[in-house]
């Protein structure tokens, strides 16, 4: 089969309905024996009137279609080209469905013997890819795709991707190939035929270079070099400058020396250093030099897992190359972040035809041949994948083998310094008792991360899913597996208990929706009792452990929920629909954490935003009454090129006021008309976002722009990828875009913010405004401003529909770094003039 022809097809269409919309461009690339042997492409003129979205996405103009053939004119030529080939596409269901429908209209019956989907292949055989859009996959593999969303370029890139995937499949060890073949037989497309062909036509591939665990293979661990020769801060910095070609920066070297001195003298130090000073490099140099001279370890904590990985994979690698040293650093996260090998063994043993579970098993089999760490973040488990794996991990039990976490912990204990993230900081400190110094990067995020770690969220869907995994005797789930080994006399009792547990979930969340917490607690207690009966019934029977672990975990969940309600250490995320309510239970208060880490002698906090209203008092959750040194490294020109415009001709913020909604839409329309550029608008809630979106549908200006709208179901990553790719579009998003956004455009950049980003208090007395709410809002506001002005030559504009920034006592906290003349209040005409100046 590997020697057969693969017809790699890509279509551009006028819409998504295969029965109504037409193909506007078609590309076919024939692949044989791992080579491209023929290409074919044509525009089609069945439909020439294209929507703004299609024009933007494909860059196909009406003039390109007008003189092109209709599909019926070339249908037989295309059918002849495809005959006898394995039909292949990136998301094959779309391309095959459209093409088959077009053939049918021409009286041609097209039914290939095999279909192959490179999305499915990439999901399994490129397990570390986070996104599977063709342009993302091509970029990760270094494939040429200069003209994405054009059928000729996309078909060629998909063909090169197919060749890469086939080569990877043939290179796997034979035992893993056989496991993949067995699993793939339940998949929709023809992967099993490919795998059978590979196994049948190739010589056995040895697995001696791999470790064997249970029924699967893993990459062997590599030894870490931990020796670091003595080197001073200045020597390391000079090496870096000479190697990288970057300019020498006095403030960056000063920051590194200040951090080194704090480490050396066991001082607590808080540093606000402006964005762009190069904090990461500074604290890495200080940490490495400190360890090399004194042999003492440093624990570095940052705000996100992605930054944690970036520090080691990028910044540290450059320092190693610059200095010629092997710096012996290690990443460490919480135990649940590493693959539980017993959980995976259990997952493999379950006979399951669910496509997502099968693909997850196959993805993990391939990943284990490649990963050095076993860190699940490498494979970006999403939604159902995460739920299935987590369930298997629970069923494997607390005593299961955490080989990868144990390995990471052992290496961290030997490493020169360790990098974690805020979410796991306190946990890591327990595992690393010899750490005496902590550097906390992005320190403004620390409190929120620790609060999140101490919080457990209970939702209707999660609890229903968990009980649903047990199933009934008629379903192929845990209960059915249990009854294969046991007398079925208890079947009615166990099923009746499960029925009551399911009903009680409805009652628990209905009581929460009604605000009747006593009833809610009663239903939780009844559920705990039912779970106890279930556990007592199966305890000690044959093959009971997996089912027992599952129900025991559910009982513990109920106990945590009951305690949270009883002690009033919870808050409700309300919704009109009881099934969408979430109950957040928090374990204890955060106060004076510095005193709880007795082995730590020095804590250095770093951020671009830490001083609020001239004070660092909001850090008392960490330091308590303990004194600490402070340092502020300012850049008065940080936001010199960024203007803030506050409209004076709009009503006060009111989601229910149609005039307020209309005013937002009018200002968006002004921007689009004057600049003809993309725009991002951030809202504090979905209600206002949805209203603005509805209003845009009636305004003619928006007909020429693609309006991207965030919903509760869409991900920020997907929307941001679309926004960055398109030139004429508007993105309506929520506060989830506040951090990590990167607006990719040239020249001026604009972002509109409907409201200052104050968090919604969870309880009226839950925290102090000036110690918690204000700092958090200031941090987010400066993050937003920093995203629209990343380089000195760029101009940025932030339009804020919130006059409080101009007239409240806390205005200086928000506007500290902004040039006064760049803070402008005016009407629509003033805004137009400002846009023309930009």
Distance between CA atoms of residues 571 and 589, nearest Å: 14
270 and 619 Cβ atoms separated by less than 8 Å: yes
Tell whether 89 is covered by a domain.
yes
Distance between CA atoms of residues 308 and 314, nearest Å: 10
Residue 49 binned pLDDT confidence (cut-offs 50, 70, 90): confident
Buried b (16+ CB within 10 A) or exposed e, 369-407: bebebbbbbbbebeeebebbbbbbbbbbbeebbbbbbee
372 and 194 Cβ atoms separated by less than 8 Å: no
Q: Which two tokens stand for residue 768?
A: 């102090």
22 and 37 together in one domain: yes
Q: Is the predicted pLDDT of residue 771 greater than 70, yes or no?
A: no
553 and 394 Cβ atoms separated by less than 8 Å: yes
Identify which of 802, 814, 818, 778 has the alpha carbon closest to the alpha carbon of residue 636. 818
Distance between CA atoms of residues 430 and 641, nearest Å: 45
If one counts the domains in the chain, the total is: 4
145 and 35 together in one domain: yes
195 and 213 together in one domain: no
Q: Which domain covers residue 791, as residue numbers? A: 642-837
Q: Is the predicted pLDDT of residue 745 greater than 70, yes or no?
A: no
List residues bridging with 642 in a β-sheet: 796
Distance between CA atoms of residues 51 and 22, nearest Å: 13
Distance between CA atoms of residues 490 and 547, nearest Å: 14
CATH classification of the domain holding 161: 3.30.420.10
Q: Measuring CA to CA, how many Å separate 811 from each of 618, 736, 804?
A: 17, 23, 7
Q: Is the predicted pLDDT of residue 742 greater than 60, yes or no?
A: no
CATH classification of the domain holding 494: 1.20.58
114 and 229 together in one domain: no
Residue 174: what pLDDT? Answer: 92
117-160 pLDDT, tens digit per residue, is 999 999 999 999 988 888 889 988 888 777 777 888 899 999 99
> Roughly what angle, to the nearest 10 degrees, separates helices 355-367 and 118-125?
50
Tell whether 821 is covered by a domain.
yes
Strands 796-800 vs 642-647: parallel, antiparallel or unpaired: parallel
232 and 213 together in one domain: yes
Q: Is the predicted pLDDT of residue 744 greater than 70, yes or no?
A: no
Contacts of 46-52 with CB under 8 Å at 24 or more apart are: 46/22, 46/70, 46/71, 47/14, 47/21, 47/22, 50/14, 50/24, 51/14, 51/15, 52/703, 52/704, 52/705, 52/706, 52/728
Tell whether 351 is covered by a domain.
no
671 and 721 together in one domain: yes
553 and 682 together in one domain: no
673 and 815 together in one domain: yes
DSSP run (H or E) holding 298: strand 298-302
Phi-psi category of 329—alpha, beta or left, where left has phi over 0 and alpha has psi -120 to 50?
A: beta
554 and 579 together in one domain: yes
438 and 491 together in one domain: no
561-612 pLDDT, tens digit per residue, is 999 999 989 888 877 788 889 999 988 778 888 888 888 999 999 988 788 7
Tell whether 593 is covered by a domain.
no
Tell whether 626 is covered by a domain.
yes
Tell whether 229 is covered by a domain.
yes
186 and 144 together in one domain: yes
Q: Is 580 exposed, middle or buried (0-12, 13-18, 19+ CB in 10 A)?
A: middle
Residue 593: what pLDDT? Answer: 87
Tell whether 344 is covered by a domain.
no
535-557 pLDDT, tens digit per residue, is 999 998 888 888 999 999 999 99
Tell whether 364 is covered by a domain.
no
437 and 492 together in one domain: no
Q: Which two tokens stand for residue 725?
A: 């790719």
CATH classification of the domain holding 805: 3.40.50.300
Identify which of 492, 471, 493 has the alpha carbon closest to the alpha carbon of residue 547. 471
Residue 814: what pLDDT? Answer: 86
Distance between CA atoms of residues 369 and 173, nearest Å: 9
Q: Is the predicted pLDDT of residue 766 greater than 70, yes or no?
A: no
């Amino acid at each position: 089969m590997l020697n057969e022809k693969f017809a790699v097809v890509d279509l551009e269409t006028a819409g998504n309905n295969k029965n109504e919309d037409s193909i506007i461009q078609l590309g076919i690339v024939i692949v044989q024996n791992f080579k491209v042997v023929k290409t074919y492409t044509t525009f089609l003129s069945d439909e020439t009137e294209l929507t703004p979205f299609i024009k933007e996405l494909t860059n196909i103009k009406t003039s390109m279609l007008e003189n092109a053939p209709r599909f019926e004119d070339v249908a037989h030529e295309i059918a002849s080209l495809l005959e006898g080939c394995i039909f292949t596409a990136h998301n094959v269901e779309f391309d095959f469905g459209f093409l088959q429908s077009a053939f049918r209209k021409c009286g041609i019956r097209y039914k290939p013997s095999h279909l192959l989907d490179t999305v499915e292949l990439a999901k399994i055989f490129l397990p570390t890819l986070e996104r599977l859009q063709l342009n993302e996959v091509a970029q990760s593999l270094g494939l040429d795709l200069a003209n994405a969303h054009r059928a000729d370029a996309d078909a060629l890139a998909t063909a090169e991707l197919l060749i890469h995937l086939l080569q990877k499949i043939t290179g796997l060890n034979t035992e893993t190939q056989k496991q993949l073949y067995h699993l793939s037989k339940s998949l929709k497309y023809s992967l099993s035929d490919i795998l059978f062909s590979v196994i049948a036509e190739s010589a056995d591939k040895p697995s001696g270079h791999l470790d064997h665990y249970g029924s699967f293979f893993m990459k062997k661990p590599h030894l870490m070099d931990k020796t670091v020769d003595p080197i001073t801060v200045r020597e390391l910095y000079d090496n870096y400058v000479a190697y990288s070609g970057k300019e020498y920066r006095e403030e960056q070297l000063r920051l590194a020396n200040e951090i080194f001195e704090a480490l050396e003298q066991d001082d607590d130090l808080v540093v606000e250093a402006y964005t762009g000073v190069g904090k990461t490099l500074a604290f890495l140099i200080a940490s490495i030099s400190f360890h090399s001279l004194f042999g003492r370890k440093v624990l570095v904590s940052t705000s996100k897992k992605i930054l944690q990985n970036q520090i080691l994979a990028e910044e540290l690698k450059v320092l190693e190359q610059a200095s010629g040293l092997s710096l012996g650093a290690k990443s460490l996260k919480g135990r649940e972040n590493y693959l539980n090998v017993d959980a995976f063994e259990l997952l493999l043993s379950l006979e399951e035809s669910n496509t997502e579970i099968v693909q997850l098993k196959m993805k993990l089999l391939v990943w284990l041949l490649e990963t050095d760490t076993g860190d699940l973040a490498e494979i970006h488990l999403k939604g159902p994948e995460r739920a299935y794996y987590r369930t298997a991990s629970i069923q494997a039990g607390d005593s299961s083998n955490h080989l990868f976490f144990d390995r990471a912990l052992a290496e961290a204990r030997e490493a020169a310094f360790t990098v974690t993230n805020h979410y796991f900081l306190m946990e890591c400190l327990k595992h690393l008792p010899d750490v005496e110094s902590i550097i906390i990067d992005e320190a403004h995020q620390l409190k929120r991360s620790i609060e999140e770690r101490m919080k457990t969220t209970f939702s209707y869907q999660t609890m229903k899913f968990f009980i649903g995994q047990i199933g009934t005797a008629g379903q192929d789930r845990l209960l059915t597996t249990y009854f294969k080994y046991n007398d079925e006399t208890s079947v009615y009792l166990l099923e009746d208990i499960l029925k009551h547990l399911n009903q009680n979930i409805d009652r628990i969340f209905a009581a929460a929706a009604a605000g009747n917490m006593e009833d809610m607690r009663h239903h939780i207690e009844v559920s705990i009792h039912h779970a106890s009966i279930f556990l007592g019934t199966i305890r000690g029977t044959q093959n009971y452990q997996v089912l027992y672990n599952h129900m025991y975990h559910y009982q513990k969940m109920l106990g945590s929920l009951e305690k949270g309600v009883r002690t009033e250490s919870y808050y409700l995320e309300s919704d009109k629909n009881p099934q969408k309510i979430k109950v957040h239970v928090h374990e204890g208060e955060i106060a004076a954490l510095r005193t709880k880490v007795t082995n730590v002698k020095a804590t250095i906090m770093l951020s671009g935003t830490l001083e609020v209203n001239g004070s660092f008092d909001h850090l008392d959750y960490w330091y308590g009454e303990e004194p600490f040194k402070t340092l502020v490294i300012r850049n008065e020109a940080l936001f010199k090129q960024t203007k803030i415009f506050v409209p004076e001709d709009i009503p006060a913020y009111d989601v229910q006021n149609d005039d307020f909604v209309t005013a937002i839409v009018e200002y968006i329309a002004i921007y689009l008309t004057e600049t003809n550029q993309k725009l991002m608008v951030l809202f504090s809630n979905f209600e206002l976002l949805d209203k603005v979106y509805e209003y845009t549908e009636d305004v003619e200006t928006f007909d020429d722009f693609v309006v991207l709208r965030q919903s509760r179901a869409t991900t920020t990553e997907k929307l941001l990828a679309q926004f960055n790719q398109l030139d004429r579009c508007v993105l309506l998003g929520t506060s989830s875009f506040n951090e990590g956004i990167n607006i990719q455009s040239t020249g001026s950049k604009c972002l509109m913010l409907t409201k200052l980003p104050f968090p919604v208090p969870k309880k009226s007395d839950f925290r102090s405004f000036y110690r918690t709410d204000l700092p958090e809002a200031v941090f987010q506001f400066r993050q937003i401003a920093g995203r629209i002005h990343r380089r000195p030559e760029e101009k940025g504009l932030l339009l804020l529909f919130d006059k409080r920034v101009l007239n409240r006592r806390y205005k200086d906290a928000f506007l500290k770094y902004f040039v006064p003349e760049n803070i402008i209040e005016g009407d629509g005409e003033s805004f137009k003039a400002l846009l023309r100046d930009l």
